[in-house]
């Protein structure tokens, strides 16, 4: 997909509330609401079925994601897929997206203004996808749903949280990149994913 720079900065002024994910993504790929549009190859809206059991939410696209237009295709994506296998969850049951849709230069952390500008896209995706469980991966994803929460304090605990005028069931986990940096955490991560798989199969994710 070519770079999308045709819209003037600040497009769209208001994030739309269309009736389908496809309609939402058609506008999202033209978004210029924050300055990250200037260096991206393309917007990475997210991928997966339109009625997923789980919505995984990460931070922002990296170099591979920016190139391919798909979230979690690098090393973090490989680990996430391995964890899904451990949990007995198929890729077809999950939708994967990020709180930031355009790659920050040199993979720097997202800035507050960028997170604010991009926030409405996630709110609309959650409304349209209506997942049974939302799994946040890492700090920025968790704090999108629960301001100031710390991953180390709440990871692995399923909780109900108010979100965008409704309520979601949120399972906070660390980002796969943190497990790649510290492989000693992997057994605990695997157990957290096994529990997620059991939650889905038992119906208690409803
Ligand atoms: S990061 Fe989000 S708000 Fe910023 S340009 Fe990309 S899609 Fe738009």
CA distance 49 to 168: 18
| Ligand 1 pocket test target in 8, 66, 114 with most atoms within 8 Å of CB | 114
**Residue 5 — pLDDT band, cuts 50, 70, 90?**
low
The closest residue, in CA terms, to atom 2 on ligand 1 is: 118
Q: In the prediction, which pLDDT does 204 show?
A: 64
Which atom in ligand 1 lies closest to the alpha carbon of residue 40? 6
In this structure, what are the phi and psi dihedrals at residue 120, rounded to the nearest 5 degrees?
A: -60, -30
SS (H, E, C) the chain: CCCCCCCCCCCCCCCCCCCCHHHHHHHHCCCCCCHHHHCCCCCCCCECCCCCCEEEEECCCCHHHHHHCCCCCCHHHHHHHHHHHHHCCCHHHEEEEECCCCCCHHHCCCCHHHHHHHHHHHHHHHHHHCCCEEEEECHHHHHHHCCCCCHHHHCCCCEEEEECCEEEEEEEECCHHHHHHCHHHHHHHHHHHHHHHHHHHHCCCC
Its pTM stands at: 0.95
Neighbours of 126 (CB within 10 A): 20
Domains detected in the chain: 21-200 (3.40.470.10)
59 lines ligand 1 (CB under 6 A): no
194's tokens: 């096994």
Query: Residue 22's pLDDT is what?
Result: 97
Quote the CA–CA distance of 99 and 114 in Å, as a whole number: 10
Q: What is the pLDDT of residues 147-181, one digit of tens each?
A: 999 999 999 999 999 999 999 999 999 999 999 99
User: Edge-to-edge, what's the strand order for the sheet holding 54-58?
Assistant: 94-98, 54-58, 133-137, 166-173, 159-163
For residue 2, what pLDDT is reported? 45
- Quick one: which atom of ligand 1 is closest to the CA of 60? 1
Task: List pLDDT tens digits, range 73-124.
Answer: 989 999 999 999 999 998 888 999 999 999 999 999 999 999 999 999 999 9
Looking at residue 206, its pLDDT comes to 58
CA–centroid distance, 87 to ligand 1, in Å, is 32
pLDDT at 203 over 90: no
């Amino acid at each position: 997909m070519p770079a999308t720079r045709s819209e003037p900065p600040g497009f769209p002024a208001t994030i739309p509330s269309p009736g389908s994910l496809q309609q939402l993504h058609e506008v999202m790929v033209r978004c210029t609401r924050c300055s990250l549009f200037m260096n991206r190859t393309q917007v990475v809206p997210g991928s997966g079925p339109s009625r997923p059991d789980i919505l995984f939410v990460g931070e922002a696209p990296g170099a591979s994601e920016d190139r391919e237009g798909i979230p979690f295709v690098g090393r973090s994506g490989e680990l996430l897929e391995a964890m899904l296998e451990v949990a007995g969850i198929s890729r077809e049951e999950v939708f994967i997206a990020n709180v930031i849709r355009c790659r920050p230069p040199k993979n720097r952390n997202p800035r507050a203004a960028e997170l604010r500008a991009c926030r409405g896209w996630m709110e609309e995706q959650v409304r349209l996808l209506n997942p049974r469980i939302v799994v946040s991966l890492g700090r920025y994803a968790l704090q999108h749903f629960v301001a100031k929460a710390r991953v180390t304090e709440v990871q692995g605990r399923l909780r109900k949280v108010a979100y965008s005028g409704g309520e979601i069931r949120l399972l906070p986990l660390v980002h796969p990149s943190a497990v790649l940096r510290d492989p000693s955490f992997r057994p605990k991560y695997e157990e957290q994913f096994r529990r997620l798989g059991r939650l889905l199969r038992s119906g208690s994710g409803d």
